[in-house]
Chains A and B, each alone.
Chain A
Amino acid sequence: MNLLRTLRRPDWIDELHGLLLLGTVLTGAGGVAAVIATLAGQPIEVEVATETALRPDALTGAPAGVVLGDSLVLDVTDPTAAQLGWALLATLPRFVLITATLALLWRAIGRARRTDPFRSGLAASLRSLGILLIGGGLFAWVAEVVARFGLSATVDVGGTYTTLDLTVPAVWLFLGITLLAVGEIVRRGQEMRADLDGVV
């Protein structure tokens, strides 16, 4: 009966809290596994410009109208320390940011769930998280771009290569502004609650 009631009227804050914990654990574990795999000698993928790495006629047997793309992914099977450093810089900031965000959100939602959402520090937590996502997201994106640029320079196939995907910082910015807006909604709710508390 309890299960049926739970399925019919789920506590969405509770569901979100559980999902955030799962996300934090999985992302954290994924990040640690990625770092260990990189340090243990897993081949590092390096993107380089096709035009400097291959001759124009390198692709054989392709039907008419099919050509090589702008970039080519190489596997570095025996990476140097510098390549390991660049590879970690290319992935680690994003993992750290996502894990930290999920963990902080999990803590804030948990506190709001246990106590009164309009009395806990939920608004301040969401505001801090929004700022973290905007600032941290931009930093992680720049670090990744620089790291991929640096990594491509280490493979010596004639030049450097990186892609400036502007949708990545745009997504971080959107998520950050969303959290700031939700934080503002909660803050206004807290003000209304404080007003109502004084009404007889």
Chain B
Amino acid sequence: MPPEEAHRVSVHIEKLLAERGMTLTELSARVGITLANLSNLKNGHARAIRFSTLTALCDALQCQPGDLFTVEPDS
């Protein structure tokens, strides 16, 4: 199992929000999760994401999971 805290997943919520002219508060209302949790996810502080949250995010942002996340190459 990989170490708990080490991950290289980049979250692109900010970019997608800017492209769609949406705020984080609007997104949190549409997805139905708290602003604090959404901020944690946006800043890469979350440890995992539920499929239900991912589905709601993709629905709200009209995107696919691959548009939301990328794994950075190992340096």
Question: Footprint of B on A, CB under 8 Å?
Answer: 195, 198-200
Q: Give CA–CA (A30, B68) in the complex, Å.
A: 67
Chain B residues 34 to 63 lying within 8 A of chain A, measured CB to CB, are: 37-38, 40-41, 45-50, 53
Provide the bound-state CA to CA distance between A200 and B41, in Å. Answer: 7
Q: Which residues of B contact A198 (CB under 8 A)?
A: 45-48
Q: Would you give the shortest CB distance from B16 to chain A, in whole angstroms?
A: 16
Q: Does B33 contact A (CB under 8 A)?
A: yes
* Residue positions of B touching A, CB distance < 8 A: 33, 37-38, 40-41, 45-50, 53
**Residue ID in chain A nearest B42 by CB atoms:** A200
Contacts across chains A and B counted by CB atoms under 8 Å: 21
Q: Which residue of chain B is the closest to A195 with respect to CB atoms?
A: B47
- The smallest C-beta distance from A30 to any residue of chain B, in angstroms, reads 49
A200: shortest Cβ distance to chain B, in Å? 4
Nearest CB in chain A: distance from B10 CB, A? 15
Closest partner residue, chain A, to B36 (CB atom): A200
A24–B45 Cα gap in the complex (Å)?
A: 45
21 contacts across the A-B interface (CB closer than 8 A): A195-B47, A195-B48, A198-B45, A198-B46, A198-B47, A198-B48, A199-B46, A199-B47, A199-B48, A199-B49, A199-B50, A200-B33, A200-B37, A200-B38, A200-B40, A200-B41, A200-B46, A200-B48, A200-B49, A200-B50, A200-B53
Alpha-carbon distance between A200 and B49 when the two chains are bound, in angstroms: 5
Bound-state CA distance A118–B50 (Å) is 22
State the Cβ distance, A143 to closest chain B Cβ, in Å: 46
Q: How far is the CA of A188 from the CA of B24 in the complex (A)?
A: 35
- The chain A residue with its CB closest to the CB of B48 is A199
B53 to A, closest residue via Cβ: A200
| Residues in B whose Cβ lies below 8 Å from that of A199 | 46-50
* Chain B residues near A200 (CB-CB < 8 A): 33, 37-38, 40-41, 46, 48-50, 53
- How far apart are the CA atoms of A199 and B33 in the complex, in Å? 11
Collect the chain A residues with CB atoms within 8 Å of residue B40's CB.
Answer: 200
- In the bound assembly, the distance between CA atoms of A195 and B40 in angstroms comes to 14
Closest residue of chain B to A198 (Cβ to Cβ) is: B47
A195 CA / B46 CA spacing, docked (Å) = 10
In whole angstroms, how far apart are the Cα atoms of A80 and B53 in the complex?
78
Closest 9 CB pairs of A and B: A198-B47, A200-B46, A199-B48, A200-B41, A200-B37, A200-B49, A200-B53, A198-B46, A198-B48
Task: List chain A residues, Cβ under 8 A from B48.
Answer: 195, 198-200
How many Å from the CB of B5 to the closest CB on chain A?
A: 9
Task: Determine the chain A residues whose CB is within 8 A of the CB of B46 once the complex forms.
Answer: 198-200
Q: Of A198, A199, A200, which is in contact with the most chain B CB atoms at under 10 Å from its CB? A: A200
